[in-house]
Amino acid sequence: MTTERLYWRRLAPKSPMAWLLLGLAAFGLSLIAAVGWAMPAALTPLGWQGGLAIAVVVITFVANATTSLPADIIFLGGAAVLFLSGILDEEAALAGFSNSGMITVAVLYMVVVGPQQTGALAWVSQRVLGLPKGERAALWRLMVPVMGLSAFLNNTPVVAMFIPVVSDWCRKLRISPSKLMIPLSYAAIFGGICTLIGTSTNLVVNGLLISSTDLPSMGLLDIAWVGLPCAIAGFVFLTLTQRWLLPNRQSGFNAVDDSRQYTVEMVVAQNSPLAGKTVEQAGLRHLPELYLAEIVRGEQLLPAVSPKEILREHDQLIFVGAVDSIVDLQRLRGLQPATDQSFKLEVPRTERCLIEAVVSNTCPIVGKTIREGQFRTQYNAVVLAVARSGERLQGKLGDVRLQPGDVLLLEAHPNFLEQRRVSRDFYLVNGVPDSEPLRHEKAALAVSILVVMVLLAAFGWLSMLKAAVLAAIAMLVTGCCSPAQALRNIEWSVLLVIGAALAMGQALDATGAAEAIANSFISLAGDNAWVSLVLVYGITTLLTEVITNNAAAALVFPIALSLSQTLGVSFMPFVIAIMVAASASFSTPIGYQTNLMVYGPGGYKFTDFMRIGIPLNLLFWVITVTLTPLIYPF
C-alpha cells in the first residue's frame, strides 16, 4: 500500500458517527460557501470593525472547540479584544455583566439553595425521579416532567431547580452527570416551544407581532401545532442516540470506589417519619457504596438486616460505607447521629459541616478511646465515624481506640479547618463538600417560596428578575439557607461566559455584521416563499447560537416581515419559524441560558454540544419548515 493511502486511511473517520459529523461539517461548509457567494456585497460597507467582530467570534468558537482553556477565559479574551480595539466602548463592553438575563441566572443559583438545604429537592428526587435501571430509563424519568413544567413555566428556574437534584441523582445511580445535564437543558427547550408562555422568546416575538403588524396576538397553544411535533421528535432522537452522542465525562462523582470504609452509627429519632417503615421503604437500601450492617434494638442485635425489617424509634443503625453516602445519611429526615456528643457542641447544627481528619502519631489521644480522650472537649468537634484501612470496627463508636492513620469523620464548625490544618495532631484535614445538615423543618416554606416565585413570573405580575430577587431575599430572611451557602452556590465561571458572550453579540449587532449576514442569507431566496422560510429559520438558528435568542429573534423579525410583504404572502409562517428557531439552541452552550447553566455541572467541553446539537438543529429545521406551511399557509 502506498504512503499516500496509508496517510488518508489514518485520517479517515473510524466510526459511523464520525462519518455523520464529517458529513454535517461538509454540509455547513457548503452552506457557508453558498452564502459567501452572495455575502461580499453585504459585508463591504462594514469596514474593518465588522470584519474584526466576525473574526473574533469565529476564533472564539474555534478556540473553545480545539483547546483545553476554560470557556470563561476564552470569552473574556474575545470581549477584551473588541473593547481594546474600540469596537465596544466601556459601557457596551460591560453591559453584558449587568444584563438582566445574566443577573437572573445568578440570583436563581441562590434561590435553589433554599430547597436544596431544606431537603425539598431530595424529596423531588425520591418521589418524581425514583431509582430507574439504566441510563435510558433515567432519561425518560427526567425529560418527561421537565418538558411538562417548561411548557407553562419559565425554562430558567425549572433547570435551576433540577440541576442539584440531577447531580445528586446521578451519584446515586452511578451515572455520569454528562449523560443527563444536556438532556435536562434540551427538555426545558422542548417544552418551552410548545406554548406561547414557555419561553421569553415566544413572548418577545408575539410582542413584536402585535406592535409591528395588524395581526392579533397569538393564542396560548397556537405554536403547539409545530412545537409539539418538534418536542416529540427531539425526545425520541435523544432517547435513541444518547448512548453514542452524549459524552461520558466523569464530573460530579468519583467513578473510582472510595477505599475509605467508615463505620457510622445512626439512631431513628423519636417521632421519626422512618419509624414504622421497612428498611427498603425508608430508602436505606439504595445508597451507593453503603450497607446497613446491623441494627441494635435495646438488648437485641440484628446482624443480618432484611430489607423487610420494620424500623422502630430509638433503633441504632450501624452502617459501613463511603463518605458521600454517609453525607446522605446525615441528610435523611428522622435519622440523627447516635452519639449524644453531637448535641453538646456549642455551635448550632445548621452551621456545622463534615470534615475528614487523619490521626497523626503525635496526637495526644492515640492509644485512647474516643470517650477517654474527651475528643469533643479538646477539639470542639464530634467523631461521627472512623475508617481504618478497610477494617470493620466492632463495638460502640466511643469505645474505638484510636491508632495513627485512622481517618475520622468529624462534625464541626468550618473554622476547624483553619485551626487544625497545620496542627501536629492530624496529618491531613479536609472538608467534605455540601455536607451541611439540612433544615427539614423549613422544607415546606422553601417550596412555597419557589412556587410563589414561579407564579409571579408566569402570570406576568413581576419580571423574572424581580421574582427571583424577592425569592432569594425570602430564602435568606426565613433561614432556608445561609448567605454563605447562597454565595457559594453561584457558578461564577458561567456568569463570566454569559457576560462576555453578550458583549460579543452586541459587537456583531453594533457593527452591522449580524444584519449583513442575515440579509446575505435571505437574498438567496429570490421570490420563493418556502425557500425564504427555510433561510429565515436557518439564519435565526445560526444567530441564536452566537448571540442571545431574544436578540436573534428581534434582529430577524423586521427582515422577515419585509420579506413577506415583498413576496405578498402571510407573515404567520415566518413568525412560527422565528419562534422555534430562536428557542431551539442546541449546538453551543452560549446560545441559551439553560445550556450555560448545565455546562459546568455536566463537566462538558464546547464540542459536546455540537456533536449532539447539530443533528438536533437540523431535525427541528426540517420539521418546522415542513409542517408550518401546512398549518399556516402562505
Is residue 110 within 8 Å of residue 486, measured between CB atoms?
A: yes
Give the span between the Cα atoms of 417 and 394, in whole angstroms: 29
pTM for the model? 0.62
Q: Is 406 helix (H, G, I), strand (E, B) or coil?
A: coil
* Nearest one of 128, 248, 100 to 182, comparing CA atoms: 248
Q: Which residues contact 633 (CB under 8 A, 6 or more apart)?
A: 570, 573
pLDDT of residue 125: 64
| Mean pLDDT of all residues in 436-440 | 71
Residue-wise pLDDT for 508-542, tens only, equals: 778 877 677 666 666 776 678 888 898 889 888 88
pLDDT of residue 236: 93
Is residue 583 within 8 Å of residue 591, measured between CB atoms?
A: no
Give the span between the Cα atoms of 567 and 532, in whole angstroms: 9
Percent of the chain scoring above 70 in pLDDT: 81
Lowest mean pLDDT among 196-200, 305-309, 423-427, 569-573: 196-200
605: confidence class by pLDDT, cuts 50, 70, 90 = confident
Is residue 595 within 8 Å of residue 71, measured between CB atoms?
A: no
Q: Identify the DSSP state of 369.
A: B
* Nearest one of 31, 46, 37, 45 to 507, comparing CA atoms: 46
pLDDT of residue 18: 45
362: confidence class by pLDDT, cuts 50, 70, 90 = confident
pLDDT of residue 73: 84
Is residue 292 within 8 Å of residue 265, measured between CB atoms?
A: no
C-alpha cell at 614: 447539530
**Higher pLDDT among residues 574 and 205, named by residue:** 574
pLDDT of residue 431: 76
34: confidence class by pLDDT, cuts 50, 70, 90 = very low
C-alpha cell at 226: 409545530
**Higher pLDDT among residues 187 and 53, named by residue:** 187
Is residue 543 within 8 Å of residue 555, measured between CB atoms?
A: yes
C-alpha cell at 629: 406551511
In order of their start, the domains of the chain are 112-253+443-493 (no CATH), 262-431 (3.30.70.1450)
Across 257-266, 296-305, 471-480, 549-558, the highest mean pLDDT is recorded for 471-480
Residue-wise pLDDT for 448-501, tens only, equals: 888 888 788 767 788 767 888 898 999 999 888 888 778 877 777 767 776 777
pLDDT of residue 248: 81
Give the span between the Cα atoms of 612 and 627, in whole angstroms: 23
- List beta partners, residue 316: 267, 296
Give the mean pLDDT of the chain: 77
**Higher pLDDT among residues 590 and 382, named by residue:** 382
Neighbours of 15 (CB within 10 A): 9
Residue-wise pLDDT for 290-310, tens only, equals: 778 788 887 787 877 888 888
Exposure letters 46-69 (e unless 16+ CB within 10 A, then b): beebbebbbebbeebbebbeeeee
Question: Across the chain, which distance is largest between two alpha carbons, in Å?
Answer: 92
C-alpha cell at 232: 416529540
| Mean pLDDT of all residues in 172-189 | 87
Q: Which residues contact 209 (CB under 8 A, 6 or more apart)?
A: 215, 217, 218, 571, 575
| Mean pLDDT of all residues in 319-333 | 75
Q: Is 47 left (phi over 0), alpha (psi -120 to 50) or beta?
A: left
* Nearest one of 130, 98, 14, 206 to 499, comparing CA atoms: 98
pLDDT of residue 347: 63
507: confidence class by pLDDT, cuts 50, 70, 90 = confident
Please give the C-alpha separations between residue 337 and each of 120, 327, 360, 447, in angstroms, as whole numbers: 21, 11, 25, 27
36: confidence class by pLDDT, cuts 50, 70, 90 = very low
Q: Is 288 left (phi over 0), alpha (psi -120 to 50) or beta?
A: beta
**Higher pLDDT among residues 528 and 577, named by residue:** 577
Lowest mean pLDDT among 3-12, 247-256, 342-351, 590-599: 3-12
Q: Which residues contact 256 (CB under 8 A, 6 or more apart)?
A: none
pLDDT exceeds 90 at position 190: yes
Give the span between the Cα atoms of 63 and 57, in whole angstroms: 10
Please give the C-alpha separations between residue 446 and each of 56, 106, 163, 471, in angstroms, as whole numbers: 44, 18, 17, 9
pLDDT of residue 107: 82
Give the span between the Cα atoms of 233 and 237, in whole angstroms: 6
What DSSP assignment string belongs to 422-488?
A: T-TTEEEEEEPTT-PPP-GGGHHHHHHHHHHHHHHHHTTSS-HHHHHHHHHHHHHHTTSS-HHHHHH
Across 63-67, 231-235, 545-549, the highest mean pLDDT is recorded for 231-235
Q: Which residue has the cell 445535564?
A: 181
C-alpha cell at 611: 456533536
| Helix residue ranges, H only, 125-223 | 135-150, 155-173, 181-192, 200-212
Backbone angles phi, psi at 261, to 5 degrees: -105, 105
pLDDT of residue 535: 87
Is residue 528 within 8 Å of residue 180, measured between CB atoms?
A: no
625: confidence class by pLDDT, cuts 50, 70, 90 = very high
Residue-wise pLDDT for 192-210, tens only, equals: 888 876 777 777 788 778 8
Is residue 246 within 8 Å of residue 183, measured between CB atoms?
A: yes
* Nearest one of 101, 140, 254, 97 to 603, comparing CA atoms: 254
pLDDT exceeds 70 at position 137: yes
pLDDT of residue 183: 92
